[in-house]
């Protein structure tokens, strides 16, 4: 059984393409092309389910057409429309050989700990609609917006899903 802390979100399935089961895939991270993993993961009714890729081809800078095993009709592909797509952390960490380059979306679900202020909350999402990418951090009813920049990162504990930051005074 695949657990939530074993995957990270890389995109979303859009509408089917054609009648043979291909589906449009909007991706925020092209890790599926860079790392040798035969499957992508979707959450269906609260359960993370692997879907094995037969083939894929890029349609644009942020979209691809994907064909999965056992998804052989437009109807079956349509059932996948709107599903978030995840990638297994295990494959990413194994193949990167110590030189890990995370996308900002990788940190969704991580706890954020500042060197001075302590635990700030959990990264609920990433806002990359503006020129500066932001972490959307939530702790109970409190919400923080923190710039996502390598300059603030002190340490990453991917196993425990903790992001250690050193934030400038007055930012929080």
Structural domain spans, the chain: 4-95, 104-165
Provide the b/e sequence for 127-160 (b: ≥16 CB within 10 Å).
eeeeeeebbbbeeeeeebebebeeebeeebebee
Per residue in 16-51, pLDDT tens? 999 999 999 999 888 888 888 999 999 999 999 999
pTM: 0.64
Mean predicted confidence (pLDDT) in 155-167: 89
The pLDDT value recorded for residue 98 is 45
pLDDT tier, 78 (very low <50, low <70, confident <90, very high otherwise):
very high
Per DSSP, helices labelled H in the chain are 31-34, 74-78, 89-95
Say yes or no to pLDDT of 99 above 60.
no
Q: What CATH topology corresponds to 4-95?
A: Elongation Factor Tu (Ef-tu); domain 3 (2.40.30)
CATH superfamily of 104-165: PRC-barrel domain (2.30.30.240)
pLDDT tier, 130 (very low <50, low <70, confident <90, very high otherwise):
confident
pLDDT tier, 89 (very low <50, low <70, confident <90, very high otherwise):
confident
């Amino acid at each position: 059984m695949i657990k939530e802390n074993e995957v990270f979100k890389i995109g979303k399935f859009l509408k089917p393409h054609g009648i043979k089961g291909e589906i449009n895939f909007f991706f925020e991270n092209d890790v599926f092309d860079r790392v040798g993993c035969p499957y992508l993961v979707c959450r269906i009714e609260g359960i993370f389910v692997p879907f094995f890729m037969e083939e894929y081809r890029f349609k644009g800078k942020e979209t691809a057409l994907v064909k999965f095993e056992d998804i052989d009709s437009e109807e079956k592909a349509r059932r996948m429309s709107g599903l978030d797509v995840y990638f297994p952390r295990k494959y990413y960490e194994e193949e990167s050989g110590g030189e890990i380059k995370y996308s900002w979306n990788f940190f969704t679900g991580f706890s954020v700990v500042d060197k001075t202020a302590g635990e700030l909350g959990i990264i609920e999402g990433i806002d990359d609609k503006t020129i500066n990418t932001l972490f959307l951090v939530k702790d109970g009813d409190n919400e923080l917006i923190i710039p996502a920049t390598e300059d603030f990162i002190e340490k990453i504990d991917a196993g425990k899903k903790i992001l250690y930051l050193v934030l400038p005074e007055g930012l929080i």
